[in-house]
Structure 1
Amino acid sequence: MTVFRDLFWFFRQEKKAYLTGIFILIVVAFLETIPPKVIGIVIDHIKEGTMAKTVLVRWMAVLLSVAVVLYILRYWWRILIFGSAVKLARQLRNELYAHFTKMSPSFYQRKRIGDLMAHATNDLQAIQQTAGSGILTLVDSLTLGSFVLATMALTISWKLTIISLLPMPIMAVATSRYGTILHKRFLKAQEAFSSLNDKVQESISGIRVIKSFGYEQEDVESFRKQSEEVVVKNVAVAKIDALFDPTISLIVGISFFLAVTFGAKMVIAGELTIGELVSFTTYLGLLIWPMLAFGWLFNIVERGRASYDRVRALLAEKEEIQEAENAITAPPTGDIVYDIRQFTYPNESRPSLENIRFCLRRGQTLGIVGKTGAGKTTLLKLLLREFDQYEGEIRFGGHEISEYTLDALRAAIGYVPQDHFLFSATVRENIAFAKPEASEEEVVKAAKLANIHGDIMQFADGYDTIVGERGVSLSGGQKQRISIARALLMNPEVLILDDSLSAVDAKTEERILSALKENRAGKTTIITAHRLSAIQHADLIVVLNGGRIVQMGTHEQLMRERGWYHDMYERQQLESLVEQGGEI
Structure 2
Amino acid sequence: MRLFAQLSWYFRREWRRYLGAVSLLIIIAFLQLIPPKVVGIIVDGVTVHHYTTDRVLMWIGTMLLIAVVVYLLRYVWRVLLFGASYQLAVELREDFYRQLSRQHPEFYLRHRTGDLMARATNDVDRVVFAAGEGVLTLVDSMVTGLAVLIVMSTQISWQLTLLALVPMPIMALVIKRYGDMLHERFKLAQAAFSSLNDRTQESMTSIRMIKAFGLEDRQSGLFAADAADTGVKNMRVARVDARFDPTIYIAIGMANLLAIGGGSWMVTQGSITLGQLTSFMMYLGLMIWPMLALAWMFNIVERGSAAYSRIRAMLAEAPVVNDGEASIPAGRGTLAVAIREFHYPHTDAATLDKVTFTLQPGQMLGICGPTGAGKSTVLSLIQRHFDVVQGDIRYHDIPLPRLKLDDWRSRLAVVSQTPFLFSDTVASNIALGKPGATQQEVEHAARLASVHDDILRLPQGYDTEVGERGVMLSGGQKQRISIARALLLEAEILILDDALSAVDGRTEHQILRNLRQWGEGRTVIISAHRLSALTDASEIIVMQHGHIAQRGRHEQLAAQSGWYRDMYRYQQLEAALNDAPAEEVTREEP
TM-score range, shorter chain: over 0.9
SS in 1 for 2:494: strand
SS in 1 for 2:390: strand
Q: Relative to structure 2, which stretch is displaced further, 222-231 or 465-474?
A: 222-231
Q: Distance in 2 between matches of 1:571 and 1:98?
A: 47
Q: Which residue of 2 aligns with 1:468?
A: 467
SS in 1 for 2:356: strand
The amino acid of 2:22's aligned partner reads: I
Q: Relative to structure 2, which stretch is displaced further, 272-281 or 101-110?
A: 101-110
Shift of 1:414: 0.9
Q: Distance in 1 between matches of 2:544 and 2:330?
A: 32
Shift of 1:397: 2.5
SS in 1 for 2:124: helix
Shift of 1:455: 0.8
Q: Which residue of 1 aligns with 2:259?
A: 259
Q: Which residue of 1 aligns with 2:298?
A: 298
SS in 1 for 2:549: strand
Q: Which residue of 2 aligns with 1:547?
A: 546
Contact 2:175 2:244 in 1 (8 A): yes
The amino acid of 2:393's aligned partner reads: I
Q: Which residue of 2 aligns with 1:18?
A: 18
- In structure 2, stretches of 5+ residues that fail to align are none
The amino acid of 2:48's aligned partner reads: E
Q: Which residue of 2 aligns with 1:209?
A: 209
Q: Distance in 1 between matches of 2:110 and 2:218?
A: 26
Q: Relative to structure 2, which stretch is displaced further, 41-50 or 349-358?
A: 41-50
Contact 2:45 2:51 in 1 (8 A): yes
The amino acid of 1:111's aligned partner reads: H
Q: Distance in 1 between matches of 2:214 and 2:320?
A: 41
Q: Structure 1 residue 557 and structure 2 residue 565: aligned?
A: no
Q: Distance in 2 between matches of 1:269 and 1:504?
A: 100
Shift of 1:560: 2.5
Contact 1:332 1:412 in 2 (8 A): no
Shift of 1:49: 4.4
**Mapping of residues 180-579 of structure 1, within 5 Å:** 180-325=180-325, 327-330=326-329, 333-579=332-578
Q: Distance in 2 between matches of 1:199 and 1:138?
A: 38
Contact 1:332 1:397 in 2 (8 A): no
Q: Which residue of 2 aligns with 1:165?
A: 165
Shift of 1:175: 0.3
C-alpha root-mean-square deviation of aligned residues, in Å?
A: 1.4
SS in 2 for 1:89: helix
Contact 2:381 2:388 in 1 (8 A): no
Q: Which residue of 1 aligns with 2:92?
A: 92
Q: Distance in 1 between matches of 2:184 and 2:402?
A: 46
Contact 1:451 1:512 in 2 (8 A): yes
Q: Distance in 2 between matches of 1:44 and 1:403?
A: 83
- Cα distance change of structure 1 residues 440 and 193 upon mapping to structure 2, 3 Å threshold: same
SS in 2 for 1:238: helix
Q: Structure 1 residue 41 and structure 2 residue 41: aligned?
A: yes
The amino acid of 1:52's aligned partner reads: T
Q: Distance in 1 between matches of 2:509 and 2:479?
A: 15
Q: Distance in 2 between matches of 1:257 and 1:389?
A: 75
Q: Relative to structure 2, which stretch is displaced further, 394-403 or 487-496?
A: 394-403
The amino acid of 2:524's aligned partner reads: T
Contact 1:342 1:392 in 2 (8 A): yes
Q: Distance in 1 between matches of 2:419 and 2:519?
A: 22
| Normalised TM-score (structure 2) | 0.97
- Cα distance change of structure 1 residues 154 and 395 upon mapping to structure 2, 3 Å threshold: same
Shift of 1:577: 1.8
SS in 1 for 2:418: coil
- In structure 1, stretches of 5+ residues that fail to align are none
Shift of 1:50: 2.1
Q: Distance in 2 between matches of 1:465 and 1:431?
A: 12
Q: Deviations over 1:271-325 (max 9, x none)?
A: 1111111111111111011011101011011001001101011000101221223
Q: Distance in 2 between matches of 1:208 and 1:64?
A: 64
The amino acid of 1:303's aligned partner reads: R
Shift of 1:84: 0.7
Contact 1:331 1:411 in 2 (8 A): no
SS in 1 for 2:201: helix
Contact 1:115 1:198 in 2 (8 A): yes
Shift of 1:330: 4.8
Q: Which residue of 1 aligns with 2:62?
A: 62
SS in 2 for 1:279: helix
Q: Deviations over 1:159-210 (max 9, x none)?
A: 0100110111110111011101111111111111111112111111111111
SS in 2 for 1:358: strand
Contact 2:448 2:484 in 1 (8 A): yes
Q: Distance in 2 between matches of 1:372 and 1:92?
A: 42
Contact 1:477 1:504 in 2 (8 A): yes
SS in 2 for 1:149: helix
SS in 2 for 1:530: coil
Q: Which residue of 1 aligns with 2:73?
A: 73
Shift of 1:580: 2.3
Structure 1 segments, 4+ long, off by >6 Å, are none
The amino acid of 1:353's aligned partner reads: L
Q: Distance in 1 between matches of 2:520 and 2:367?
A: 20
Q: Relative to structure 2, which stretch is displaced further, 229-238 or 277-286?
A: 229-238
SS in 2 for 1:374: coil
Q: Distance in 1 between matches of 2:388 and 2:345?
A: 8
The amino acid of 1:529's aligned partner reads: A
- Cα distance change of structure 1 residues 504 and 331 upon mapping to structure 2, 3 Å threshold: farther
The amino acid of 2:51's aligned partner reads: M
How many residues are matched?
A: 583
Q: Deviations over 1:73-115 (max 9, x none)?
A: 1111111111111111111111111111111121112111111
The amino acid of 2:394's aligned partner reads: R
Percent pairwise identity: 49
Q: Distance in 2 between matches of 1:3 and 1:455?
A: 56
SS in 1 for 2:496: strand
Q: Distance in 1 between matches of 2:51 and 2:431?
A: 82
Q: Distance in 2 between matches of 1:267 and 1:222?
A: 67
Q: Distance in 2 between matches of 1:333 and 1:21?
A: 57
